[in-house]
Amino acid sequence: MTEIFTGSFTQQESIPEEGIEAALAVLRHGRLHRYNVADGELGETALLEQEFAAYTGARFALACASGGYAMCTALRALGVKAGDKVLSNAFTLAPVPGAIASLGARPVYVGVTEALTLDLDELEAKADQADVLLLSHMRGHICDMDRLMAICENAGVRVVEDCAHTMGARWRGVPSGRHGVIGCYSCQTYKHVNSGEGGFLVTDDEELAARAIVLSGSYMLYERHLAAPPPEVFDRVKYETPNISGRMDNLRAAILRPQLRTLDEQVSRWNARYRALEDGLQGTPGLTLIPRPEVEEYVGSSFQLLLLDWPKDDVMNVVSRCAAKGVELKWFGADEPTAFTSRYDSWRYSDVPSLPDSDRVLAGLLDMRVPLTFSLEDCALIARIIRAEVGAVYQQAVRQAG
């Protein structure tokens, strides 16, 4: 009997009841703006920042309108300006190079390995081209952060981490976002906490934190931040830092605070689903799974597999056959970007380099969301469907070659 999956790859879990009640309280009193607080009230956004700083171990945290805004603000706080070059991943999503281009700066792309991480040999070769690296932990895969930081420190490159897919992850016990000078995170619906849209910026540098808070639109109300530097730091930067408003509001913060408290539990649930998919696909002929280093504590909220060196028509056949069975796979090798799979040669507002090794990886890369609305049984079924369809196309190719 043919197996069919009938679940949704875009349906997230509902907001926790505690978050719903907190949001209703904000709606009832009407003080949605982060700085509109009653006497003695700290405000949901300020409390969320304090809690996120504690969660990541950072001195300072800023809650803002989106993960993309956090990255733009990080680059501005570091002094990146029009015409500057910024190193970044060739394999990432459009908001990352978009953050660079929004400042009039120019991305310098660094390739991707078969482990779906930044090619550190290539980074070392290009490190003299810029003094900032906007590093994307794309799809939750963390590169060797010890070697990366050694390369960047040796070259005088400051690192901003895009942790949209790694909130809750760690490398050798260090939370993602805490190796570089600034860490940026997303709270968009398909990320690890869900406020529809939103983001965080964390840093230990007091001047960068003050600049980021002013950039976000503090209107001189920075004393209402609980995870911020002291007033004298703002006195050094407030007259030369523009206001580019991108604040988080108290409604979204109220929704997020209960989710942050249960994030580690959610990470465990995601990883159980990831492992169920991985177990079901082990040993599939023609299919390569992505190795996870022992020192990487990942968040398995998405799943990737490689059909390396397969003809494009065969990869497309796998995608269409799986779709017919209810399994949605996104392909990074298509000629035109679809389903958020744009890549470095799609972003024509910047120079497009020749990266043949990266092209080989992306041509065989399939990607899948793993929402927590999936059960472990769902994941086992999905793995069986993928295994069967990859196997069918692979065997057909073998017969034709023979």
Output the tens digit of pLDDT for each of the chain's 402 residues. Answer: 689 999 999 999 999 999 999 999 999 999 999 999 999 999 999 999 999 999 999 999 999 999 999 999 999 999 999 999 999 999 999 999 999 999 999 999 999 999 999 999 999 999 999 999 999 999 999 999 999 999 999 999 999 999 999 999 999 999 999 999 999 999 999 999 999 999 999 999 999 999 999 999 997 899 999 999 999 999 999 999 999 999 999 999 999 999 999 999 999 999 999 999 999 999 999 999 999 999 999 999 999 999 999 999 999 999 999 999 999 999 999 888 887 788 899 998 988 899 999 999 999 999 999 999 999 999 999 999 999 999 999 999 888 887
Residue type, 253: A
Q: What is the DSSP letter of 366?
A: E
Provide CB contacts within 8 A for 297, sequence distance 6+: 169, 170, 171, 173
Instruction: Return the axis-axis angle of helices 250-261 and 263-281, rounded to nearest 10°.
Output: 60
Strand order across the beta sheet in which 199-203 lies: 60-64, 199-203, 182-186, 158-162, 132-136, 85-89, 106-110
**For residue 133, which phi and psi values (nearest 5 degrees)?**
-115, 120
CB 72, CB 97: distance < 8 Å: no
Determine the pLDDT at residue 1.
Answer: 60
For each of the domains in the chain, give its residue range(s) and CATH number, in order of start.
Answer: 17-261 (3.40.640.10), 263-401 (3.90.1150.10)
Under DSSP, is residue 262 helix (H, G, I), strand (E, B) or coil?
coil
Q: How far apart are CA 221 and CA 322, in angstroms?
A: 53
Q: What is the bridge-based pairing of β-strands 60-64 and 170-171? A: unpaired
Identify the pLDDT of residue 91. Answer: 96
209: Cα separation from own chain's centroid:
21
Q: Where are the beta strands (DSSP E) in 275-385?
A: 288-289, 296-297, 302-306, 330-331, 365-369
In one-letter notation, the amino acid at residue 26 is V
Of 124, 120, 75, the residue nearest 101 (C-alpha): 75
Whole-number Å distance between alpha carbons of 16 and 20: 6
What pLDDT score does 240 carry?
94
Question: Residue 309: left (phi > 0), alpha (psi -120 to 50), or beta?
Answer: left
- C-alpha separations of 111 from 75, 118, 145, 340 in Å: 21, 6, 16, 19
* Residues 263-291: tens digit of each pLDDT: 999 999 999 999 999 999 999 999 999 99
- What three-state secondary structure class fits 185? strand
